[in-house]
Structure 1
Amino acid sequence: MGLEKKFDLYLEWTSFLRSKLCQIILWAYYKNVFLGDWVLYLDNGTKFTYHSDTGLFPLSFSFSGITDFRDMKFLSRYLRKGDFVFDCGAHQGLYSVYLAKLVGNEGRVFAIEPSKRFISYLEKNKQENNLYSIEIFPFAAGNKKEKKTFYENGPFSRLSVQSFDNSSIEVEVICLDELLDRGLRYAFGKIDVEGAELLVLQGLTKMLKEANPPVLQIEITKLVKDYGYSAQELKEFLFDLGYMLYLYSPWSNQLLKRSKPWKSCINSLAIHHKSIEFVIDRLKSKNQEKGL
C-alpha cells in the first residue's frame, strides 16, 4: 500500500472515531435535555425543525457536521439540479428538505411517509423552506399491497411485527414499483424503515433490475432480524440485482468497498455496477467546480 493510500486510510478512521466520540457526547446530552421543537440549520442553507414528544433526541437529527456528515456530504457532491429522488421513510423531513434544496425547483423529491402526524411536521418544514419540489405520498412501502399496523414511536416508528399499544395505527402499504413513476429516471433513493428495508426492496425489484435508481442509501441495523432476515441476506438480494455496497469517505471523497459496511455505519450506499463510473465522475466534477 502506497504512502498516500495509507494516509487516506488513517484520515478516514481517525475522523470516523472522532465523529463517534462526538456522537456519544451529543447523545448523552440531547436525550436528557431536548423536548418539543428544536431547529437545525443544515449545511446547504435549509432549516429543519424537529418535533420531539418524548425528549428523546436521536443521533440522526443532531446534524451539525458530525452525525450525518458522511451521508449528506455525499449527497451534496453527487446530486445535481433537476435530479429526481425519493425518500422512503421520510419521517419529519430531514432528508427530504435537504434533498429538495440540492435538486432545486427543476427536480423532484418524492417523500413516502405513512404517519399523518409526521406528515404534518414534514409539510411545515416544506412550507418554511419554500421547497415546492417535495411531493408527499401518505403510504408505507413494502413488498405487497395491503393494510398493516404501523407503530408510531418517534424516530423508531415502523411497520409492526407484533401487537403494540394505542400508539399503533392502520396504514396502507404499497410497492414502490407501483407508487413511483417507472418512466422517470431517479438519481437517488433513500430507504430508512427501521428494519423492513428488504421488504421495500422486494417491492422495488422491477425498477432495480433497470438500475433505477443507480444509487440507494439504505439503513441496515440489527432490527432486520425482527422481519425474519439478516443483513447478509439483504446484501445478497442487492448483489443479485447488480448492486454493490459501499461506504463514502467525505474526507478523501472516495467510495470504499466493504464486505460488511453496516458494521461501521448504519447507512450504506448500494450502487449498481453499471453506474459506478457515473457516480465517481459526479463526485469528482463537483469537487472540481468548487476547487477542492
Structure 2
Amino acid sequence: MTRVESWFGIARSLAMYYGVPRRGGRMARLYGQFVTPGSLCFDVGAHAGDRIGAFRRLGARVVAVEPQAAFVRLLRGFYGRDGDVVILHAALGRAPGRARLFVSERAPTVTTLSRAWIDKVRRDPSFRGVRWSEGAEVEVRTLDALIDELGIPAFVKIDVEGFEAEVLSGLSRSLPALSFEYLPAARETALECVERLTSLGDYRYNWSRGESLVLGEAAWLDADGIRRFLASLTLGSGSGDVYARLGGSAPSSPAPVPTSSS
C-alpha cells in the first residue's frame, strides 16, 4: 500500500461519514432511542469515529474497537483526550487470539477479517473494482471479555464487514440493544446474527437502509419478520443495518437533537 493510497482511503472515509449535511441530527434521533446520558456504548468497527461523536453528544461513554492502525491513530487524534472514550486497537470475534486483516487500500470501509465474505460480495455490482490485499495481524478479543472488563453496554454498534456473526459468537448474554450490518450478497451473515440473538433473548428487530439513519418499519418485527425482510433483498439493493432490542424494552423517546448538529 502506498502512502498516497492510504491517505486517499482515509480522506474518502472522512468525506463519507462527515461530509453529509444534517447527518448529526439524524444520528441523534436514531440513537437517542437507545442511548441516554451516562449510558455505555460499544462501537465495534469504529472506523472514522462518526458514531463515537453521536454517542458522546447524547451523553454516553464509549468504547471504540477498531482493527485498522491508521484509523486507530485518527480516532486517538479526535478523541484521545476525552476521558469518556476508550479506544482499543483490536477486533472482536468468537474467541481471543489473532487474525489477519484483508485490506482495501482505496476503500478502507470494506476492510475485513473474512475472506469468505470477500468471495460473496464480489457478486455485488457496488463492489466492482474493489481490491483487497493481506494486511497486518490484529489482536482479537470477545464481547464477553469486553463486558467483563468495562461493563454492560446499553447499545452495541457492530459494523465489521462480514464478521458480525463471529462477533456475536463471542457473546453469551442478552444485551438491551444493538445493531449489525446486512448486505444482500452476504445475507447469510445477517441471518446467522438473528439466530444467535434468538438464542440469547426475545429480541425485536428493525432496519435502516444504507446510511439513511432512519428506521424502515413503523412497528418492530419479530425474528421471523426480519428473516423475511432479509430474504426479500435483491442483489444490488444496497447494504444497511439491522437493529435489535430486547422485546420487553420499548425504545425510549429520542433525546433532544442539538441544534448545532441538525
| Fold equivalence (TM over 0.5) | yes
Q: Secondary structure at the match of 2:136?
A: strand
Q: CA deviation at 1:158?
A: 1.3
Asked if 1:267 is matched to 2:226, the reply is no
Partner of 1:99: 55
Partner of 2:141: 174
Q: Secondary structure at the match of 1:144?
A: coil
Distance across 2 between alignment mates of 1:134 and 1:200: 21
8 Å Cα contact 2:182/2:189 also seen in 1: no
Q: What runs of 5+ residues in structure 1 fail to find an aligned partner? A: 1-34, 37-50
| AA at the equivalent of 1:244 | R
Distance across 2 between alignment mates of 1:113 and 1:62: 21
Asked if 1:221 is matched to 2:180, the reply is no
8 Å Cα contact 1:247/1:256 also seen in 2: no
Q: Secondary structure at the match of 2:32?
A: helix
How many residues were matched structurally?
Answer: 222
Instruction: Label 1:120 to 1:97 Cα distance change in 2 as closer, same or farther (>3 A).
Output: same
8 Å Cα contact 2:207/2:215 also seen in 1: no
Matches within 5 A, 1:23-102: 52-53=8-9, 56=12, 59-60=16-17, 62-65=19-22, 71-102=27-58
Distance across 1 between alignment mates of 2:67 and 2:216: 37
Q: Considering only CA atoms, is the larger Rg found in Structure 1 or Structure 2?
A: 1
Distance across 2 between alignment mates of 1:217 and 1:160: 19
Asked if 1:283 is matched to 2:253, the reply is yes
Asked if 1:246 is matched to 2:206, the reply is yes
Asked if 1:120 is matched to 2:73, the reply is yes
8 Å Cα contact 2:43/2:63 also seen in 1: yes
Percent identity of equivalent pairs: 25
1:252-283: CA deviations, max 9, x gaps? 995543534554861111111132x2x2xx22
Kindly report the root-mean-square deviation, in angstroms, between the aligned alpha carbons of the 2 structures: 3.6
| AA at the equivalent of 1:65 | R
Q: CA deviation at 1:151?
A: 2.1
Q: What runs of 5+ residues in structure 2 fail to find an aligned partner? A: 119-130
Q: CA deviation at 1:185?
A: 3.2
Distance across 2 between alignment mates of 1:115 and 1:231: 23
Partner of 2:82: 131
Q: CA deviation at 1:155?
A: 0.9
| 1:147 maps to which of 98, 102, 119 | 98
Instruction: Label 1:237 to 1:188 Cα distance change in 2 as closer, same or farther (>3 A).
Output: same
| AA at the equivalent of 1:94 | D
Asked if 1:187 is matched to 2:154, the reply is yes
Distance across 2 between alignment mates of 1:145 and 1:252: 35
1:22-73: CA deviations, max 9, x gaps? xxxxxxxxxxxxx99xxxxxxxxxxxxxx6437645755543236x875542
Instruction: Label 1:167 to 1:272 Cα distance change in 2 as closer, same or farther (>3 A).
Output: same
